[in-house]
Each structure stands twice: as C-alpha cells, then as structure tokens.
Chain A
C-alpha cells in the first residue's frame, strides 16, 4: 500500500478533518409536500445537521386586521373563522364575548351550553386533523384515513346545526344564530361515542409504533421557560409541562361547571405533543357528553339591539383555541365598525420558537418537529 493511501486511511480512521465541509443554505417551500401549508423555511445545513433554521412567513398574509376595520360587527364573523380554518366556532366565540362585555349583553344558559358543545366538537375536529397529518408527514398514510372517518361524522353533526362544514358563522353577540334542530343531540352523541371507541386505535397505531417513537421521542424538546417567553400556548405548552389551560385558569362561557382534566406532558418533545393531543380529544369528548346530556331549555340568544353600535372602549378577551390562546383586542370608537381589532393568534407565537428547536436537529427530524408544532398557516399570517 502506498504511503498516500496509508495516510488517507489513517486520517479516515482517526476521524480527523481531512474533509473540508461547507455549509449549505437550503430553501424548503413555500410549496412543499412535507410542510403543512405555505410555510417557507430557510435552513443552513452542515451535512445532515441544521445549523440555523428560519421560518419565512407571510405567504398567506391576507390583511385581516385591516379588513376587519371595514366591516361591521355582524360581518366580521365571516372573516374571523378563516384565520385558523380548522377551528371555526372557537374563533368566533372570543369576538362575540368582546362585544358582549362592552355592551353588557347577557347570554342565556342554553346558548352558553350550545356554544360549549359546538366549540368542543370543533376542538375534536381540529385535533383529528393534526392526528392524521402528523402521521402523514412521517410517512404513515393510515392514521389520516381513520381521522377523516371520524371527522366526517362530526362534521355532518355540525352541518346539521349550522349549515357549514368548516366555516360556520353561527355565533352572534348574545348567543347563536338559531337554535339547534331536532336530532342534533342524537347525531352528536353518536359521533362522540364512535370517537371514544376509536381513540385507542389512534393511540396504538402511532404511539405504540417503534418507528414513530424513534422519530419523535427526544426530538424537538421545548423547555418550559423558553415557551413562556415566546408566548407559546395550547397543547404545545402543556406538553412542555406547564398546566395552563384558559378554560381552567380564566374560565369563559361556563367551562367551570364541567368536569374535565388537562393532560400535561413531561419533556416537551414531539411525542409528548402528540400524546397531549390525543388525550385532549378524550377530555373534549367528556365535556360534550356532559353538556349534551345536561342541555337546559331556553332561548338561543339574549336581548340584543337591532343595530349593534358599541360604546367607545377597549376590551381584551381571549379563549382556549384548539391550537392555543386566541384573543381579540377590540378598540371601539362608537361606530358600527371596529376602530382597531388586533387578533392575537396562537400559531404566530408557537412558530416563532421554531428556530430554537431546529438548531442542531437532523434534516428528517425537521419534518417531525414541524409536524408536531400543530400550526395553521392562516393563523400565523392572518
């Protein structure tokens, strides 16, 4: 063997850097099969490891906040559910609560119960979607088929009540647009019971799978203090060990009357986030069952003036959206239209912490981390 070959062999065996490496900047998206929507990532790679990853947002920026100033309080409901498009009813509820606080409108008990039922069914629909899509991004095509089977049944229940499958426009200041039809309670209960029977399937299919565990346990660990600093909320915050749920901490509607738990994770890695998602579905199903069986009689809307003109004032009202803390800061100057309506969306804060998670991760882990961050691009970009 020549001395040159011997030298190369020696260098290779000792792992010394005879290899000269350069960092590469890779652009992922905005259109990409693995990213969830039009989120663009610019990552600097050193071989297979990510040195730095920055999300570039704004590809779905539609200017909601400016548009909300051009419409009156009945017309804004049309736009509100199109930001986080998977949780239609949950987006409309804090906006109505803002108006009800400013105008001091009282909401009847039946309307509150119905709002809770619709909101929790929507939460289940949202979580089912992410249950399916997380598996799809990691290469598993079965969970998404199962998830949509459950979604279809609950969506037909929502459609029976509200007329829409995804964007409902059903919440009005003071209550609901109209009362639920006969048969809604039965159909919703049927959907919930089917879901409860199917949840062990979701648990075993992915969480019991060795490959899934290898890809997600220990990957994308989010420490709790970092999460709080960035304003991360929702299942992601709870997976990092912080037991903060606005339905318990700062109850709105009548969540304080229902009996449910808050699932909390340990380490804040991708596996914990998925675990929290599945457990939350169980808790939401509990709430829906309690509310459906205890639904009081009454009116579906309170006493609301025909023309909604808010008194001048400012109000900040928030709710626990399926993805996190959604809030509206409403500034009113006495007109029929809002003067300024700031929308605080959960995914905006959740995604701003992604650069910390991507640092030092491998390229395939990047997909697992993004898939577990449970964001909706319309929510980031508004």
Chain B
C-alpha cells in the first residue's frame, strides 16, 4: 500500500492535510473491508465452536443445553444480525466473549499480545538495522568476497523455513549445549531486574529466528537499492570531495536507499506477525501465535475476529506510518 501510494511522484500540489485526510479515508475503507472479512471467514469454516466450550465428551452429553448455550451466545441468530451486533460491539469497545478462554476477548488478547509485541517489534528494528548495514556493505563491495559471503549466507538462511530454523536452534543451543531454556517466556518466580534478564534469556532464540527471517529478506532489498544508487552523480561527487568510504556509504548512499526498506517493513509487518506464529509454537512462547493457533482449532469466532483485526490494524498502521515517512525520506515524492 505504501509503495502504491508513494512510489509515483505527486502530480498535483494538494494541501498536505488534504492528502493525509484522503489517505486516512482509504485506510478506513480498507479497515471496514477487513472487519467484514474477519467476521465472515471464520464462519465459513466447518465446525462448531460449542464443542470446545463444553468439551468433546461433554458435547454429546449436553443435549438440549447446547441449544440454550447457542442462543445465549447469539450463535443461532441469522448472520446479518450477528454482523450488526459485532459492528456495534466493536464501536462500543466490546469485542465479545472468547469461547475458548471463557473470558472477554480483550482480556484473552491482552495476556498474549504483549508477548508477541515483545518479540516482534525488537525483531523488526534489529532486522532493519542489520539489513541496512550488511546490505549497504555488500553493495558497496559488490563482487568482493564480502559481498559473495554475505549474499550467499543470506540466501541460505532465507531459504530455510523459519520453524525449521527454530527447531534447529532449539535443538543445538537449548538441548545439546544447554545454553538456553527449552522454550516458554520465563522461569517463573523472579521479579524486577532478574525477571527482565530471565525473559531476555528466554527470548533470545525466538528473537534470533524472527530477526533472521526478516533481515535476510531486507538485506536483498537494501543491497539492490544501494547498488542502483552507487552510480549516481552525487555519489561520485561525494567521493571526489575526498569523503571516507564510510561517510559516503552511511551519510549519502544509505540515506537514499532507506525508502524501499521502510516500504518493505510496512508491507512485511503482517508476514512477520504470522511468521512468529510457528516460531512461538516451537518455543512455547505465550504470544498471539499460540492464541490464534488454538482459536482456529476451537472455531472461537470472537477471538479470531479480534486477533486478525489487531494484526490488520497493525499492518495498516505500519503502512500509514510508511506513507507519512516516505516523503520525509525522499523529498522527490512530496
């Protein structure tokens, strides 16, 4: 979305606030479509959410009580009525009740979202920084052993399924070497600084996997972007002025090569979140991945709706931020 709206230079000079409002309107329209799809898609899947609510063996024993329960949860109402109730609930901040967690959806998500953000946000930032530095370096020394080594290494990691990489790291560093725990987020019992250190110890391996997953993709984007810029006159000018290589690369070249990285980061935000799903399962990390994984199995409509909505909003927000940042990074697109 960011690439679509920003890659083409503006043809008319609109007032900045009007442009922003127009973009916001488009994002709102996208949000409405997403909200509607979020409602519809889980209901298209076969299966009965009540089975999870009363348990497999309780399901057959419940008899008529199931109908009462279905009515109580509004699952026997026509879809348009359920949709209307869902929209009203969203607007009033009521996201419904989770059949799986048997608590308000907001509470269930609050327990898990922070763990996913704790994992994903640092991963995205570290991956972007790594990609910028290593991608820039590889491009600057294109054709050299550094470039070949970095590019080959990136392609190797990029080609690995990230859950497989997660299993590999778990096996080597946790099981064989015993340097890290076999998953989960804490050892329990600690508070304050020891607690944070303990969480960091548990977080490191999943963080490495998600960072690697994102950084290897970004690396190629940055490398190609830098290579395309290196032939520009202003780069030659900077070199002619006698600036050091590092200064030319980091102050002049990378600055102009960052715009595609911002776009890709925004577009990839959803992919990183979904990629974290399987990594979370491998590392028994109590984040949104395990929540969504369980909610799909249980056909927990309200929880699925809310989880996907949060992810969609995060992606839209990331794209919106990219839209706002892009003109700052590249004045030609203002």
Partners in one complex: no
Question: Measuring CB to CB, which residues of chain B are less than 8 angstroms from any residue of chain A?
Answer: none
